[in-house]
Amino acid sequence: MAAEGFQTARGTRDVLWPESWQMEAMRDLALSWAARFGYTLIETPIVEKSGVFLRLGETTDIVQHERYRFVDAGGEDLTLRPEGTAAVARAFIQHGFAEAPQPVRLCYFGPMFRRERPEAGRYRQHTQFGAELYGSDSPLADAEVILLALGLVDMAGLKQPEARINSIGCQVCRPAYRQALIEFFSQRQDQLCADCQVRLRQNPLRLLDCKVDVALREDAPDVQAFWCDDCRNHITAVIDLIREAGYRIERDRHLVRGLDYYTRTVFEVGHPTLGRQVALFGGGRYDGLTAGLNGPWVPAVGFGMGIERLLSALPAPLPMPVAARVYVAHLPHFEREGYRLARDLRAQGFAADSDLLDRSLKAQLKEAGRRATIAVIVGGREWADGLVTVRDLGRAEQETVERDQLANYLRQKIQEDQA
């Protein structure tokens, strides 16, 4: 029981073993998979000047209601990052990546903060793995980031993800679509929820993904009828490339996503185990976000993936490290010898620990059974003769081994056990 008043803040949690290991394993898997595509890791600060995230859109939930924004003791207006894309765009400009050979491929793995209503799979601190590809407006770039994300989900062992994609048009064709939506929903304004009344004026596309007004959107105009030739060719090519790689993906005409920076491609991938409202990853194209942050205009596309969600959906955990922990137990008065032997074994590459509580041999072996696969027992006459006892805790077998041969013996034994 935690002491009253000292528990994790609402919507946050401690990550305990073995989940903490699962997170690390997923980080390794994600970064090494991304490296195969040429993505290099970028770690931006967890706090940014608040202005960086204002570009996500005044009507965006994570800007409007969900920001952890504060003024520090020096009067600086800062925000805990709610997502990675704007922070990476800021870094892209700051380090002059626009002058580097294009495309520039960056990926990140770390915590994001949103003051959302906590529920299953929704935290106020969550972990995202994301990838951002700069400098290409080709549909090949969109397909690359989607296939990177789908490939990771697949490698982690989660099969048959449900991928949805849409194009929300571009500066050329979106204005007419926007107007058509305003007209459509204005005629039904009395039926709209309070949020959508506001969205109708500020960002009518968001009416399409309202969780309340789902019936109303069925008859709303389809963006497909408004696409310019470039947008139509682009989305068609992306879908073809994903399918060609063996994945299922469907167009969802109601998919618009919650961030204002998107243009053309938007996508979201879920899994039946998570429920329809909960996405594993989402992303899209955001050409020119860099220009909004006072940098050069650069085309870009990327995704962000919720790692807690991915882990919770896996049918089986990622492989755990092989437990070859050696526990050094000691006979009475040989505590120091046990301690030193454990220290030497660690120096020789073994995971080893020893008793620090001067317990009875019986109590030590009980502890060893919980923590180790091998116990080394030191002390008594044996120690004086240069010998130790090695007990295989799984098989309940034991052997006497010469102390100076112990490392070789253990190495061989662990190898045999792992084979």
* Minimum distance from residue 242 beta carbon to ligand HAM (Å): 16
- Interacting residues of 387 by C-beta distance below 8 A, sequence separation 6+: 400, 401, 402, 403
Q: CA dihedral in degrees (148, 152, 154, 155; nearest 10)?
A: 130
* Minimum distance from residue 90 beta carbon to ligand HAM (Å): 13
Name the residue among 349, 358, 350 with its Cα closest to residue 327: 350
The answer to whether residue 304 forms part of the interface with ligand HAM (CB under 6 A) is yes
* Minimum distance from residue 132 beta carbon to ligand HAM (Å): 6
The answer to whether residue 302 forms part of the interface with ligand HAM (CB under 6 A) is yes
120-155 in b/e form (b: 16+ CB < 10 A) is ebbbbbbbbbbbbbbbbbebebbbbbbbbbbbbbbe
List the one residue from 81, 105, 114, 271 that touches ligand HAM (CB under 6 A): 114
The answer to whether residue 403 forms part of the interface with ligand HAM (CB under 6 A) is no
Rank residues 48 and 83 by Cβ distance to ligand HAM and give the closer one: 83
Rank residues 108 and 185 by Cβ distance to ligand HAM and give the closer one: 108
Using CA atoms, how far residue 178 sits from 183, 212, 220, 256, 369, in Å, is 9, 20, 11, 12, 66
Rank residues 116 and 344 by Cβ distance to ligand HAM and give the closer one: 116
Q: Which stretch binds ligand HAM (CB under 6 A): 118-126, 206-214, 229-237, 325-333?
A: 118-126
State whether residue 167 is helix, strand or coil. Answer: strand
* Minimum distance from residue 235 beta carbon to ligand HAM (Å): 16
The answer to whether residue 84 forms part of the interface with ligand HAM (CB under 6 A) is yes
How many residues bind ligand HAM, per CB under 6 A? 26
The answer to whether residue 57 forms part of the interface with ligand HAM (CB under 6 A) is no
The answer to whether residue 103 forms part of the interface with ligand HAM (CB under 6 A) is no
Rank residues 271 and 413 by Cβ distance to ligand HAM and give the closer one: 271
The answer to whether residue 308 forms part of the interface with ligand HAM (CB under 6 A) is yes
Q: Which stretch binds ligand HAM (CB under 6 A): 16-24, 36-44, 79-87, 149-157?
A: 79-87
User: Phi-psi bin for 275: left (phi > 0), alpha (psi -120 to 50), beta?
Assistant: left
Q: Which two tokens stand for residue 40?
A: 């290099």
Rank residues 84 and 161 by Cβ distance to ligand HAM and give the closer one: 84
* Minimum distance from residue 40 beta carbon to ligand HAM (Å): 16
The answer to whether residue 299 forms part of the interface with ligand HAM (CB under 6 A) is no
- Alpha-carbon distance of 247 to 146, in angstroms, equals 10
The span from the first CA to the last CA of the chain, in angstroms, equals 42
- Alpha-carbon distance of 67 to 81, in angstroms, equals 8
Residue whose structure tokens are 């317990």: 359
List the one residue from 27, 46, 69, 116 that touches ligand HAM (CB under 6 A): 116
- Strands across the sheet with 387-392, in order? 352-354, 326-330, 374-378, 387-392, 397-402
For 53, the enclosing helix (H) or strand (E) is helix 51-54
Strand 326-330 vs strand 104-113: parallel, antiparallel, or unpaired? Answer: unpaired
Interface with ligand HAM in residues 261-280 (CB under 6 A): 279-280
- Alpha-carbon distance of 236 to 333, in angstroms, equals 76
List the one residue from 44, 60, 87, 132 that touches ligand HAM (CB under 6 A): 132
* Minimum distance from residue 130 beta carbon to ligand HAM (Å): 5
Rank residues 39 and 334 by Cβ distance to ligand HAM and give the closer one: 39
Half-sphere exposure of 4 (CA within 13 A, CB side): 0
Contact residues: ligand HAM, CB under 6 A = 83-85, 114, 116, 121-123, 126, 128, 130, 132, 279-284, 286, 302-306, 308-309
